[in-house]
Structure 1
Amino acid sequence: MLDLAASAAVAPARDPRPQEPHPHPHRRGRHAARRAHAAPDEQGSTPRLAALIPAHNEQDRVAAAIEGLWAQNRRPDLIVVAADNCTDATAAVAAAHGAQVFVTQGNAHKKAGALNQAIAWILPHLDDLDLLLVQDADTVLNPWFTETALATFNRRVGAVGGVFYGEEGGGVLGFLQRMEFHRYAWELERTGGKAQVLTGTGTMFRARVLREVRTARRTGVIGGGNGYYSLASLTEDDEMTKAVKTLGYRAMSPAGCAVTTEVMPTLGKLWHQRLRWQRGALENLRDYGWTRVTARYFLQQFLMGFGALAFLAYLSFMISFTALYGWPGFSPFWTSIGLIFVVEKTVSVRRAGPTAVLVAALMIPEMLYDLFQHAVYFTSLWGLFRRSEEKWVAT
């Protein structure tokens, strides 16, 4: 049994000084720094912040994730790494970088199961208005993440998620993913930071909200088992978003909550990642059904499918027509439509730099990338229709 006394930084007694739950010989010298100003909660007191990193064989990545947390303007009071079925040095690396290590016991439910065990261990030591940040081990938060998230919370906001950007590398495929992530960030900003998904790369929750989610699962208000995260979903972060919103809370992703996460270096890895994301999103909608919360998600999926079909129909028509009758010639109407499309594509990635703008203007690379995404969508839809089992593949 793990010693809960090690989590003194989140014990009921409030200490205004930053504390080290798992002292490291060099930690205080390097990080004994100032405590950044945290936003007061509804009762005027300063909420405590714990950070949780689920990790399965992440010895090469977890150190950077932990150091990113120590470098926050508002440092966490406690960092916990949930070492889940690890066969490498993840736990040792985490401890060496000043994190408290929680080792899961008999977990057969992947990331969601690890999170449920660790949250059940941490949450009894948090008050309702305290906060828990859940972050992937392959992600580094920008230094303003926690400070921005704390300032975003109010009575209506139950969780604040990150805005993810791709790390460098991965060649052309990695570059196209970074363009995609920049475009997603641009869309979030246009909607005022309303989160579409409380991304697993980094999301901060009110402790009270997590307790309410578990109660709602246990009473049958929402599905997913008896824990905090759903054990039945391929995409536990997407399902958690719908759970939080179903309970009447807002979910936000402000621009200041940027995170840098890995990109998939090969088509095979990208295929498995996106198939899990897409299939999970469709299954979550099937399980929740049509509600005031899911209506916009159903509409998004419909528009995604309609757009994919329209794009494929257009390509098929142009290829067939050109093969039979030659190039159809210049059309002012369709050219103007195409120009609008190109302008939107280039403007939405301008912050990614001039190379991204040039690639977007060329259209062909992203058209091929879109065809890949369409293949993922229709494969997921077909698998859902056939009720085939989608197995977890490590990426």
Structure 2
Amino acid sequence: MLVIVAWAVALTASLPAVVLAIECALGLFPRRPRASCAAAPPYIVLMPAHDEARGIAPVIAAILAELRPCDRLVVVAHNCTDATAAVARGLGAMVVERDDPSRRGKGHALEFGRDFIAAAPSLRSARVVTVVDADCIPAAGALATIAAAAFERRAVVQGAYLMAPPHEADAMVRVSCFAFLVKNLVRQAGLHRLAGMALLQGSGMAFPRSVFAERRWATGSLVEDLDMGLDLLLSGQSVVFAQDARFISGASSRHGTRGQRRRWEHGMLQTAFRHVPKLLAAATRRKRGGLVLMALDLLIPPTVLLLVALALATLLVALTDGIGGLLVTVASAQALLASALFAAWRREARDILPPASLWQVPGYVLWKIPLLLQFVTRRERAWVRTERDR
């Protein structure tokens, strides 16, 4: 009986490790030169903002520098208690304000912005709506890239949304930024190659106007954007990844990063429980193998939890089965995962996580374990604004 349990634990831990390693390997594989795409149609940048007066100016300046006369920036100053609206308006953005404390969170802000766009005569020519967070700076050409792809492919497009640690950031924040890069860039690129599909990540998203107008954003989920992308895929809508369109947010302090990671990872675990059965059922019904791959991606737990599971599986297998084929299987999965993460760090993250910081990775694992345990003991259930380190 104990041997059967060991097999079950070993395979349960090894499968997501192998899937993660494959995603990373494909995400790092050299890409073909990108074919030039058509010019972007008129588009709107919709920016939800809550008490962002201190840091919104450079983001607005970067966005306005990318826009043409036919494009517009709309800032939704949502339940603000500071000068967010005045700052944005003074810089040249179109601003709409809402004061409704009973409706908190990004989803409500996006729905309010959606209704404003639908009713504004000056915005009727726009064919694409892009969403950019108020602390997220687009790289040169990123907005036009995702807008053009959304229009040309009639798809929802996710750019590469990344976190940049401040110069004085400690190793915990830097390792967290590396984990964010693996998930939002490396894994996303690999998943797109495998399944031809992508996940939404919250900022740097582009929607054909008709698709954006039909969606319900205020779901109450901790990860509304992830849920929205999965619902779009289940409805048959194409969601794709634009790897070269970068959107960069500054990382928060260690305290802010802790709260942010807890919210994201608790939300992702809840979403996996809800959506994996739906994805598998839809894949069977519609014969869409890509949805099976999306389900496998959702089954990959947070990396720290996966590493702990692999370590426990190794110990259990060694005690029950000794040095045999099962131990070799678990060890091989660990080696594949370690190699993939090292390759991702070497290729994409040496500036984010310098070699001198690598010795603190075990400390990050210990730092993260209580956050994951809180999914059982003190689960995050409500949206909380991430602390800005400005």
TM-score by length of 2: 0.70
Distance apart, 1:240 and its partner CA: 1.4
Q: Is this contact kept in 1: 2:80–2:99, CA < 8 A?
A: no
* Residue 309 of structure 2 corresponds to residue 310 of structure 1: yes
Pairing partner for 2:55 from 51, 61, 82: 61
- Give the 5 Å matches for 1:86-235: 86-107=80-101, 108-125=103-120, 130-153=127-150, 157-169=154-166, 170-184=169-183, 185-192=185-192, 196-213=198-215, 228-235=216-223
Aligned to 2:26: none
State how far apart, in whole Å, the 1-side matches of 2:37 and 2:71 are: 12
Question: Partners of 2:175 and 2:109 in 1: how far apart?
Answer: 32
Secondary structure, counterpart of 2:244 in structure 1: coil
For 2:180 and 2:131, the matched residues in 1 are separated by 20
2:371 alignment partner, one of 361, 373, 376: 376
One-letter code aligned to 1:283: Q
Would you say the 8 A contact 1:347–1:357 is kept in 2? no
Q: 3-state DSSP class of the match of 2:66?
A: coil
1:345 aligned partner: 341
Distance 2:192 2:333 in 1: 27
Matched residue, 1:248 = 236
Partner secondary structure for residue 148 of structure 2: helix
CA shift in 2, pair 1:203/1:333, >3 Å: closer
Label 1:354 to 1:282 Cα distance change in 2 as closer, same or farther (>3 A).
Answer: closer
Match of 2:266 in 1: 279
**Conserved 8 A contact 1:132-1:206:** yes
Residues 335 and 133 of structure 1, relative CA distance in 2, 3 Å threshold: closer
- Which residue is 1:264 aligned to? 252
Please say which structure displays the higher CA radius of gyration: 1
SS at the partner of 2:301?
helix
Using the alignment, how far apart are the partners of 2:257 and 2:366 within structure 1? 13
TM-fit CA distance, 1:301 = 4.4
The structure showing larger relative contact order (alpha-carbon pairs under 8 Å, at least 6 residues apart) is 2
User: Residue 361 of structure 2 aligns to which amino acid in structure 1?
Assistant: E
Deviation of 1:377 after TM superposition, in Å, equals: 3.6
Q: Which residue number in structure 2 is paired with residue 32 of structure 1? A: none
Distance 1:262 1:286 in 2: 30
Alpha-carbon spacing, 1:154–1:87, altered in 2? closer, same or farther (3 Å): closer
Query: What is the identity, as a one-letter code, of the residue corresponding to 2:72?
Result: L
Asked if 1:237 corresponds to 2:232, the answer is no
1:251 deviates by 1.4
Residue aligning to 1:81: 75
Return the offset for 1:117.
Answer: 1.0
Distance 2:356 2:105 in 1: 37
TM-superposition CA deviations, 1:123-152 (whole Å, max 9, x none): 345569711111110110111112221332
Percent identity for Structure 1 against Structure 2? 23
Q: Is residue 192–residue 198 contact of structure 2 (8 Å, CA) maintained in 1?
A: no
* 1:210 partner amino acid: F
Partner of 1:13: none
Q: 1:87 offset after TM fit, Å?
A: 1.4
Kindly indicate whether the alpha-carbon contact (under 8 Å) linking 2:130 and 2:147 is maintained by their aligned counterparts in 1: no
Residues 160 and 204, structure 1, Cα contact 8 Å, conserved in 2: yes
Equivalents in 2 of 1:90, 1:355: separation in Å? 30
Distance 1:392 1:190, change over 3 A: closer
Count, aligned residues: 323
- 1:339 is displaced (CA, Å) by 5.7
Distance 1:337 1:365, change over 3 A: farther
SS in 2 for 1:91: helix
2: CA distance between counterparts of 1:230 and 1:117? 10
Give the conservation status (yes or no) of the 8 Å contact 1:201–1:261: no
Q: Secondary structure of 1:353's match?
A: coil
Change over 3 Å in CA distance of 1:155–1:183 after alignment to 2: same
Deviation at 1:156, TM superposition (A): 5.3
Q: Secondary structure at the match of 2:266?
A: helix
Kept in 2: contact 1:128–1:206 (CA 8 A): no
Equivalent residue, structure 2, for 1:31? none
Aligned twin of 1:392: 383
Structure 1: 5+ residue stretches without partners: 1-36, 41-45, 214-227, 322-330
Distance 1:355 1:93 in 2: 31
Q: CA separation in 1, counterparts of 2:98 and 2:186?
A: 38
Q: Which amino acid in structure 2 is aligned with residue 137 of structure 1?
A: A
Q: Secondary structure at the match of 2:189?
A: helix
Distance 1:171 1:273 in 2: 16
Once structures 1 and 2 are overlaid, which stretch shifts more, 103-112 or 285-294? Answer: 285-294
